[in-house]
Amino acid sequence: MSVPAPDGDWAARTADSIERVVIAVRDRTTRPVLQAGRAIVYALLAAMLGITAVVLLAILVVRLLTAITGKAWLAELIVGAFFVIIGTVLLLMRRRIAEATL
């Protein structure tokens, strides 16, 4: 029995296959983690900007209503009632969605 002659390019082929394995592992592990991290950062940024926008809008509405009515307590009552109504509607929607998924 004769032993086949070793190919002179075996080192390059081995290095290429190791590189392919490392790239495949990186693509399946590192990229999803990086994408999830980016999504979390963007979601937090959007949430902070959204909360800031809502607060500034509420301040603007209170100031406008105070200027129109001349009574700060009435403006705050109107804006507070609006937020209570929105909260109640969202709470009722949450219960319906939770019941529908069961």
Q: Domain coordinates of the chain in residue numbers?
A: 10-101
What's the mean pLDDT when you consider all of the chain? 89
CA distance 27 to 32: 8
Residues of the chain with pLDDT under 50: none
Q: What is the DSSP secondary-structure string of the chain?
A: --PPPPPTTHHHHHHHHHHHHHHHHHHHHHHHHHHHHHHHHHHHHHHHHHHHHHHHHHHHHHHHHHHHHS-HHHHHHHHHHHHHHHHHHHHHHHHHHHHHH-
Instruction: Encode pLDDT of 26-43 as tens digits.
Output: 888 888 899 999 999 999
